[in-house]
Amino acid sequence: MIDLLGTAAGAAVVFAATDIDDIVILTLFFVAARTSGRPRPWQIVAGQYLGIGALALASAVVAAGLLVVPEPWTGLLGLLPIALGVRALARRDDDETPAVVASTLGVAGVTIANGADNVAVYVPVFRALGAADSAIFLLMFVLLIALWCAAGAWLGGHPRVVRLVERAGHWLVPTIFIGIGVVILAGSGVLGKLVDLLG
């Protein structure tokens, strides 16, 4: 029982440490759902499960030695939120909060791009765990995704947050997505690799 609790606590720490920035993205999605109707709340939840599930599955496959991920190149996923943000700015309407994504796959794509660096944390964890402990980790992830979505929905429905996004959302939301993409690109080291290739 102590091992079960310890493993569950470890899973909670790993999830919270790697996915704390998802709260911001989820909040923006839920505000967009409230103000523009897109994406729908169920699409946000399904996309979050799909995205984090894909990251966990990829990590398990890499941990088993079935796939090698070229580390810095995963940073190119940062181009996705940048492209979504630029597209939303280009189509912006000053009276409307832009729906940066409008589908389950769009939410999943942003989740995967934002969590690409999670694989670097998940892989050694899954390598160190046995099958039973890995199952506990995955179960905790399932529960914590629900908690994250609930927190994002609560924040996305908070009057102050909604008012802020309604006032400045036409530029704030796309700018946040562009910023997330830039952080992913810069933090991954892929820009240095590209400079080396071109130089």
Please give the pLDDT value at position 80: 76
Q: What is the pTM of this model?
A: 0.74
**pLDDT per residue over 77-97, tens digit each?**
777 778 877 877 777 555 455
Tokens 């995955």 found at: 138
Please give the pLDDT value at position 92: 59
Q: What percent of the chain has pLDDT over 90?
A: 18
Average pLDDT of span 8-18: 85
- How sure is the predictor about 1, in pLDDT bands with cuts at 50, 70 and 90? very low
How many folded domains does the chain comprise?
Answer: 1
**pLDDT per residue over 107-123, tens digit each?**
998 888 887 777 777 87
More confident site: 117 or 140: 140
Tell me the backbone φ, ψ of residue 96, rounded to 5 degrees. Answer: -140, 135
Which of 18, 54, 48 is closest to 110 using CA atoms? 48
Please give the pLDDT value at position 67: 58
**pLDDT per residue over 24-51, tens digit each?**
889 889 988 887 888 899 999 999 999 9
Please give the pLDDT value at position 161: 77
* Non-local CB neighbours of 163 within 8 Å, separated by 6+ positions: none
Give residue 39's domain range.
2-198
